[in-house]
Amino acid sequence: MTGRQEIDSSTVAICEGALLLRFKVVHAADLHLDTPCSGLGRTAPAVAAALREASLEAFAGLVELCLREEAAILLLAGDVYDGPERGIRAERRLRAGLERLGVAGVRTFAVHGNHDPLSGDGGAAWGTGTHVFAADEVTAVPVERDGTVIATVHGISFREREERRNLARLFRPSGEGLQIGLLHANVGDPQHAPYAPCSTEDLRAAGMDYWALGHVHGRRLVLEGGPWGAYPGVLQGRSPAGGETGAKGALVLACDDRLGLLEPPRFVALDRIRFETLEVDISGAMDVQDAIDRLETAAQTAREEAEGRGVILRATLTGDFGPEAELQLRQGEILASLQETGLAQDPFVWWDALDLRTRAPILRDEIRGGGDLAAEVLREADRLRASPDDLGRILGELEQDLSRFPVRDALAGRTPAADLLTEAEEICLRLLTGGDGR
């Protein structure tokens, strides 16, 4: 080993007489810099302004993370931009951040994905110290520290948006140190477009130590142990739907040039605005104000979990709620009130939408007093609750009658029997009362 005379004990270990270099790698993907959020209703000006800056501020946080962790390598696994039409300020922020990393000794490696294929690159300026992989073949680039190759990064970019080749099968280990595969690809996810499709078996066969993947917007570990492979997810969520909700950021890898990853990838949240979806049960709420209080309590929990970030919420209200008609009638007013209150907080909570899926409670005492079929159903259910033996016998007969159908297994696995009776009773009563519980 040549170069630095004084060795930092935090980055060097001795294993069986050999000197091992420890270093860190940061893995990010799907930055979609300076692109608008989608799927939102009309937002307040302050929220709209924060959303415009969110992706760029998240990238600034990524740069700070690399510096703070004293990372040796930054991996960008595709879709840095959202398309060929990119803003000047996004290009300037990207270049400035990557050049800052280059000055600090952080090597950046990037591939193009389906949103930013090489065919639409237009000579984008990445900055010094960044290696962008071509699309013709997989190439390998060594990374040195103190005269020793600590890692070899392999990568290939998308030439066109709809890349249909299995690019993972083109990777082969070469060189020294940790073998890293940098790839934008779909590893068997039916929810995402099948660009550069491959399987975990393809990844294992390629001989990489770590697969730095992009394309899937939700954070996911696809391989564990040997080799490792992960999607970090998007750097900043852009929608209250799908894989855009929850904490977003990058992965930090603690590595050794011979032993590989020393621990599972560590997630670090870097998003500036957090998208969340809530389901709030308002069963038993006395009135609309009580229901609003429950919503605000749920929002406060989401705000605390966001740790100082602005939060954009979409909520679904469920459960049995007496004044359901009033809730439906005043839905817009309730949303406006929640928005006003949340916007006054720092950081803000912005309510994007309320989805009402509540039901009127079943008024069993009123039904019992009637002489119709609903009253008869309720009386029979009461009788079976008071007679567990009769209930057990009826369920046994049902299982026998349904023995030829898969539903029999579902019935057999439902315990206790009283729960099944209650569910059946409610279904019958709602059908017989027209769903209003009366």
Considering only residues 390 and 272, tell me which one the structure prediction assigns the higher pLDDT: 272
Q: What is the pLDDT of residues 113-162, one digit of tens each?
A: 888 777 756 555 677 789 999 998 999 999 998 889 999 999 999 988 88
Q: What is the structure's pLDDT at 7?
A: 35
pLDDT at 166 over 90: yes
Q: What is the pLDDT of residues 322-371, one digit of tens each?
A: 888 899 899 999 999 999 999 999 999 999 999 999 987 777 777 777 77
How far apart, in whole angstroms, are the C-alpha atoms of residue 125 and residue 92?
A: 8
- The arithmetic mean of pLDDT across residues 209-215, rounded, is 96
- Band (pLDDT 50/70/90 cuts) for residue 200 is very high
Options 1.10.540.10, 3.40.140.10, 2.60.40.10, 3.60.21.10; which CATH number does 13-271 get?
Answer: 3.60.21.10
Return the minimum-mean-pLDDT range out of 20-24, 178-182, 309-313, 417-421. Answer: 417-421
Pairing of strands 18-28, 249-256: antiparallel
- Band (pLDDT 50/70/90 cuts) for residue 282 is very high
Give φ, ψ of 338 to 5 degrees. Answer: -65, -40
Pairing of strands 249-256, 260-261: antiparallel
Q: What is the structure's pLDDT at 193?
A: 78
- Band (pLDDT 50/70/90 cuts) for residue 17 is very low
Q: What is the pLDDT of residues 54-103, one digit of tens each?
A: 999 999 999 999 999 999 999 999 888 876 666 788 889 999 999 999 99
CB 216 within 8 A of CB 231: yes
- Band (pLDDT 50/70/90 cuts) for residue 40 is confident
- Band (pLDDT 50/70/90 cuts) for residue 20 is low
Name the average pLDDT for the chain: 86
Domain boundaries, the chain: 13-271, 274-359, 364-432
| Closest of 121, 151, 206 to residue 21, by C-alpha | 151
pLDDT at 428 over 70: yes
Q: What is the pLDDT of residues 361-408, one digit of tens each?
A: 777 777 777 778 877 887 888 888 888 888 888 877 777 776 666 554
DSSP-assigned states of every residue in 27-66: EE----TT----S-----HHHHHHHHHHHHHHHHHHHHHH
